[in-house]
């Protein structure tokens, strides 16, 4: 069974670079990579925060949050 990896972003330039360079670098044979745009899928914000995501871009791998550089805090996405 593949490990879950959820990449959260908000379409910002920092997010897009991280998506292209980090999220797409994961081994798809071992990881089930899901990309979530929190600006467009606001109902996913709760799940992201529950996983410990405090800013985007971030990737939650097997339940553990990893913030990659800094694009925007979660608070901006809730507006």
Using CB under 8 A, list all residues that contact a second copy: 3, 5, 17-18, 21-22, 25-31, 59, 61-62, 64-70
Rounded to whole angstroms, the Cα distance separating 77 from 32 reads 25
Give whichever of 42 and 54 is closer to a second copy, judged by the CB atom.
54
Shortest approach of a second copy to residue 29 CB, angstroms?
Answer: 8
Give whichever of 20 and 42 is closer to a second copy, judged by the CB atom.
20
Tokens 């985007």 label which residue?
56
């Amino acid at each position: 069974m593949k490990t879950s990896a959820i990449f959260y972003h908000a379409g910002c330039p920092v997010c897009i670079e991280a998506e292209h360079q980090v999220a797409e670098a994961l081994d798809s044979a071992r990881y089930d990579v899901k990309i979530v745009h929190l600006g467009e899928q606001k109902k996913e914000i709760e799940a992201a925060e529950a996983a410990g995501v405090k800013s985007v871009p971030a990737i939650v791998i097997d339940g553990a949050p990893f913030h990659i550089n800094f694009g925007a805090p979660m608070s901006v996405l809730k507006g």
